[in-house]
Amino acid sequence: MNIPELMAQLVELKKIYNDEGCRDFDRGIDGVLSMLSQGALPNTPEWEQAGSMYRTMAGSKSGVSDLYIDRDNVEQRIAANSKLDAIRQTLWATFTRV
């Protein structure tokens, strides 16, 4: 995954959380985006810091992995959470390779 795609995934993650009324991770996501926008490439200190920031948000109690989307019916709930899970899995896989 290239940096623009990675940044798009982070922006989408933030949008989903914000749409659900969760702004708890805005600063962390913005921090990761800032590091990536400064030219962070794999195996650079900036990349390592961005990865560390994301892993801290994802791995902590009540972290980004603990939010689930509730909808009125099962089909909508499954679709919304599948998209959210796919984004989180992609980000985790990318940042755990640091």
Average pLDDT over the chain, rounded to an integer: 88
Q: Model confidence at 6, in pLDDT bands (50, 70, 90)?
A: very high
Comparing 4-8, 10-14, 42-46, the range with the smallest average pLDDT is: 42-46
Q: Residue 30 is inside which H or E element, if any?
A: helix 26-37
pLDDT in tens, 68-97: 888 889 998 999 999 999 999 999 999 886
Select from 46, 22, 21, 44 the least CA-distant residue to 33. Answer: 46
Q: Residue 47's closest CA among 59, 55, 36, 58?
A: 36
pTM for the full predicted model: 0.87
In the Cβ-directed half-sphere of 74, how many Cα atoms lie within 13 Å? 0
Domain spans, the chain:
3-95
- Which 3 state secondary structure label does DSSP give 65? helix
Terminal-to-terminal C-alpha distance of the chain? 13
Q: Please check the confidence at residue 38 and state whether its pLDDT lies above 80.
A: yes
